[in-house]
Amino acid sequence: MTNKEVVKRVVDGFLASDIEVVLSHMTEDVKMGWPGFFDLKPGKEAIKEFFKTVPEMTSSGIEDIIEDGDKVAATGSVTTKEKDGSLKNSFFCDVYELSKGKVKSIKSYMVFEQKGAQ
């Protein structure tokens, strides 16, 4: 499986809220964070705990996956249902670094839709 195919499976797993599929493609000491916002502790358990706090995803899609050796970038969009029932659209660009076919780090950049906000 190519690095691009691994990342596609991971992104599909995230978007389907299938954390077990996601974790199966990661190293034991995987690192994940949103630069400028937070970094999780290294390891699969931190990612599992983080995803317990993610709002329900009502729709999602992948736009691009670009591979350059052991680095892969994936872009797309997500709509989540917030606690108050409202829907929130966001757009992501995740940069993955792989080692021996497993994800060893993820840097996630999110932009929340602001159309109409002044």
The DSSP line for 54-72 is SPEEEEEEEEEEEEETTEE
Beta bridge partners of 28: none
Per-residue pLDDT of the chain (118 residues; tens, 9 = 90+): 999 999 999 999 988 889 999 999 999 999 999 999 999 999 999 999 998 888 888 888 899 999 999 999 999 999 999 889 999 999 999 999 999 999 999 999 999 998 765 5
pTM of the entire predicted model: 0.90
* Domain 3-112 in this protein, CATH class: alpha beta
d(CA 82, CA 56): 7
pLDDT of amino acid 117:
55
* Parallel, antiparallel or unpaired: strands 102-112 and 26-34: parallel
Structure token digits, residue 4: 């691009």
Residue 6: the pLDDT is 97
Give residue 118's pLDDT. 52
Query: What confidence score (pLDDT) does residue 67 get?
Result: 97
